[in-house]
Structure 1
C-alpha cells in the first residue's frame, strides 16, 4: 500500500493566540497536517507549545521587536537541525526566516517559513523589503545545493503576476505589486511569457500554486478585513509554496482553505495546503 503523502501547510496567523481563539485549532484538528509553517506568530515559544500540545515539535524564531512578526514551524516530525540566519550579519532578519530539516521516510525535506516585509513605496520600509529579497535571492541557490527537496513557504507579500491580484491596475504603484518587487520573482521563477516560466527558468524554483491553478485569476490567499473584499473575492495571492524542481514533481494536491464565510475567518490570510509524495 502506498504511503500517505506528506502534507505541508502555511498560514500567516495574524497573531497565533487570537487565531486559536477564533478557530484555528479546529481547522488544524481536521486537516491532518504534518508540517505547518506559521508567520506573524506574535507570541512566545511556550505559548506555541501550549497551543499545539506535546504531539507537535516546535521551532520558532521571534522578531527582535516584541509583538511583531515571528515565524515558526510546527511538525509531527522532529527537526533534525534548524537555522535562522539570513543575509549579512548586520541585517536583522529575526522573525522572518526559519529553516528546518526533517527526515521523512528516510528522505530529508528542508522547510523554510518566511515572512517578507510588507513594505511601503518610497520609504525606508521598502528599502528593508528589498534588502530581505536580496538576501532571499542569494540564499535560494544555496538551499538547492543543500537539499533537492526544499520548500520555501509563507507570506511573501508580493503578487508576482496580474493573475495574483484582483484589482492589479489600482496597485501598480503600491508595495506588493511594484515592478521592482515582481522582478525578484521573475528571477526566482522566470518571467511571464518566458517559455520556461515556472519550469526551470530563473533560479529554477517552482510556484506550486500557479502550476496547479494554471493561467487563471487567483486563487487568492489574502483579503482585507475592510469592506466587502472577502465577499467579493477581491483578494491577493501572496502566500506561496516555492519548491525545488525535484519536489515539484512530487506534488499530489494543492488547496487554499478559504473560509466559507466572512465571520468564520480566523486570519485575514487563508492556509495554503500541499500534499507531497515523499
Structure 2
C-alpha cells in the first residue's frame, strides 16, 4: 500500500511546535504533501529539510511568511518540478511535483495550495486567474502521466462539503464560479475534466465527518461548523486504486485536519 497524506500546516514552525513530527512518525505515510509552509529556504535548511526521517522538497513563496508548499517522501523522486509555469502564482509558492518515473510508468505526486479569495475582491480575482491558468496545466499533465494532486483547494464543491451552505453561497470558497470549475474538472465525459475526487469516491454521502477546516472564529471547531477544503484529486487509474481514507479531525497542529488515503500500489 502507498499511504499518502495531505495537510495544510498553517506554518511549519507552528505545526512542529504542536507535535506534527511525532504524528508523522506514528502514522508513517509514504509521502506527505504540505501547504502553507510559511517559511523560506534558509529557515527550512536549518531545521525542516527532513521530518520524521522523510526528505522534504519545497516550493517557497518570494514573500516571507507566506504560502509555500512541500512534499516529504520516503522515496527518491526521478524529477522535481517547482511551479507550473505561471509567473504570478509561481512567485507565491503554490505548486511542487515529484515524479517517480520508471520505464514502465509515468507517475507524479503533486502538492498544491490554491489561493483564498476571502480577504477581498482583489484576491478573489487572483483566485479566478489561478483557476483559469491551472486548469489547462492539469489537463496537459493528465494527458502525459498519472498523478495524484493533494492540496488545500480552498473550494467546497458541493452542499455536503460545508456545514452552512445556504449562508455561504456568496462567500469565497463556495461561489458558483468556483464550484463550476470543480464540476468541470471532475466531469467524467467533458474533455476538460476527467479527474476524480478520491475522498468522494470512497465516501460519496459523508457530511459532518468530511470537513477538513474550521474557522478560528466563535466555536466553529467545537461545533464542527466546518468545510471540506483539502482534497486528493487523481487520474482515474490511480483513483481506482484508492482503498481507505481517514481525516484526522482530532489533531490540533493546524486549523486544517490531515487527510490520508491508502492506495493499492507502491513506488
Quick one: distance in 2 between partners of 1:239 and 1:226? 19
The aligned residue for residue 188 of structure 1 is 185
Instruction: Check the 8 A contact 1:121/1:173 in 2, yes or no.
Output: no
The aligned residue for residue 196 of structure 1 is none
Deviates more, 1:38-47 or 1:65-74: 38-47
CA deviation map 1:58-91 (0-9, x unaligned)? 2101112111000011101122111123244465
The aligned residue for residue 257 of structure 2 is 270
Which of 216, 231, 240 lines up with 1:225 in the alignment? Answer: 216
The aligned residue for residue 102 of structure 1 is 100
The aligned residue for residue 216 of structure 1 is 206
Instruction: Check the 8 A contact 1:99/1:110 in 2, yes or no.
Output: yes
Quick one: distance in 1 between partners of 2:107 and 2:84? 19
Which of 64, 67, 77 lines up with 2:65 in the alignment? Answer: 67
Instruction: Check the 8 A contact 1:84/1:94 in 2, yes or no.
Output: no
Instruction: Check the 8 A contact 1:93/1:132 in 2, yes or no.
Output: no
Quickly say closer, same or farther: Cα 1:39–1:102, change in 2 above 3 A.
Answer: same
Instruction: Check the 8 A contact 1:158/1:181 in 2, yes or no.
Output: yes
**Alignment length, in residue pairs?**
261
The aligned residue for residue 26 of structure 1 is 22
Shift of 1:145: 2.0
Quick one: distance in 1 between partners of 2:27 and 2:120? 41
The aligned runs of 1:112-123 (5 Å cut-off) are 112-120=110-118, 123=121
TM-score by length of 2: 0.90
Instruction: Check the 8 A contact 2:21/2:52 in 1, yes or no.
Output: no
Which of 233, 236, 239 lines up with 2:230 in the alignment? Answer: 239
Cα root mean square deviation, aligned? 2.1
Structure 2 gaps, min length 5: none
Quick one: distance in 1 between partners of 2:143 and 2:258? 28
Deviates more, 1:115-124 or 1:33-42: 115-124
Shift of 1:257: 0.9
CA deviation map 1:133-172 (0-9, x unaligned)? 1122111111112212x01111000000101010111111
Shift of 1:54: 8.2
Quickly say closer, same or farther: Cα 1:17–1:249, change in 2 above 3 A.
Answer: same
Quick one: distance in 2 between partners of 1:34 and 1:88? 29
Which of 35, 38, 41 lines up with 2:37 in the alignment? Answer: 41
Instruction: Check the 8 A contact 2:40/2:65 in 1, yes or no.
Output: no
Structure 1 gaps, min length 5: 191-198
Quick one: distance in 1 between partners of 2:241 and 2:132? 28
The aligned residue for residue 252 of structure 1 is 243
